[in-house]
Amino acid sequence: MDPAVCPPGSDPVSDPHDPSQVTRRSVLAGAAGLAVGPLLSGCTAPPIPPAPHAEGEAPPRPMPVPSARAAVKVNLRINGQTHAAELEPRVTLLDALREHLHLTGTKKGCDHGQCGACTVLVDGRRINSCLTLAIMHQNADITTIEGLAHGDQLHPVQAAFIEHDAFQCGYCTPGQICSAVGLIHEDTRRPTTTSAKG
């Protein structure tokens, strides 16, 4: 639209009928109006009619939808003992340990796998128990901080933490100890140059 022939008071840049004047702002405003308009006006989609069925037949029953909250039976082998529990499939190993089995030595820190306070050993390997589901570790050997000592005899890493005053505030210490034990165990399983040559 030529600015010279625009009627007084009109804006040639924002003429909605001129395709050459379409701006990013006008596209976004139009899209927002299309998305929000039906919500504000109270419009709803018409209900979906039931599927037709033969006369005299009962209508088909809807398929049951499994609940995400339906508990399943889980057997966890923790610190040498098997624990049977009924857990929702979404329960993390950390929550199963602390809230269902009352093994509170494993700590919940960040709950995002960044701090390591929840570290436990699964089949000898370190894992962040807040990032794994309990149901995934049925029949695995799970070791928590409570399972490292043998009676009154501390694990050597636990004893070293005490001897060298390595506690800091102490909250993360169980995870640090389990991580150190796992690291040592993982390192001893790696073949060395001499053992690989045989």
Residue 142, number of CB atoms within 10 A of its CB:
25
Residue 195, number of CB atoms within 10 A of its CB:
8
More confident residue, 30 or 14: 30
Question: Which residues pair with residue 122 across a beta bridge?
Answer: 125, 142
Q: What confidence tier does 143 reach under pLDDT thresholds 50, 70, 90?
A: very high
Confidence check: pLDDT of 8 > 80: no
Q: What is the pLDDT of residues 10-22, one digit of tens each?
A: 555 555 566 666 7
More confident residue, 56 or 71: 71
Output the CA–CA distances (angstroms, integers) from residue 113 to 37, 120, 126, in the order listed: 42, 12, 12
Output the CA–CA distances (angstroms, integers) from residue 72 to 21, 79, 82, 109, 196, in the order listed: 61, 22, 16, 27, 44
Q: What pLDDT, on a 0 to 100 scale, did the predictor assign at position 116?
A: 94
Mean pLDDT of 158-176: 91
Q: What pLDDT, on a 0 to 100 scale, did the predictor assign at position 81?
A: 96
Which fold does the domain 72-189 belong to in CATH? Ubiquitin-like (UB roll) (3.10.20)
Q: What pLDDT, on a 0 to 100 scale, did the predictor assign at position 18?
A: 64
Q: Which candidate, 76, 77, 78, 79, places its Cα nearest to that of 147?
A: 79
Residue 167, number of CB atoms within 10 A of its CB:
12
Q: What confidence tier does 80 reach under pLDDT thresholds 50, 70, 90?
A: very high
Q: What pLDDT, on a 0 to 100 scale, did the predictor assign at position 141?
A: 97
Q: What pLDDT, on a 0 to 100 scale, did the predictor assign at position 187?
A: 77
Output the CA–CA distances (angstroms, integers) from residue 177 to 55, 108, 110, 121, 150, in the order listed: 71, 15, 18, 10, 15
Residue partners of 124: CB distance under 8 A and separation at least 6: 141, 143, 182, 185, 186, 189
Q: What pLDDT, on a 0 to 100 scale, did the predictor assign at position 42?
A: 60
Radius of gyration of the chain (CA): 31
In the chain, domain spans: 72-189
Q: What is the pLDDT of residues 37-53, one digit of tens each?
A: 666 666 566 666 666 66
**What DSSP string runs through 49-89?**
PPPP--TTSPPPPPPPPPPTT--EEEEEEETTEEEEEEE-T
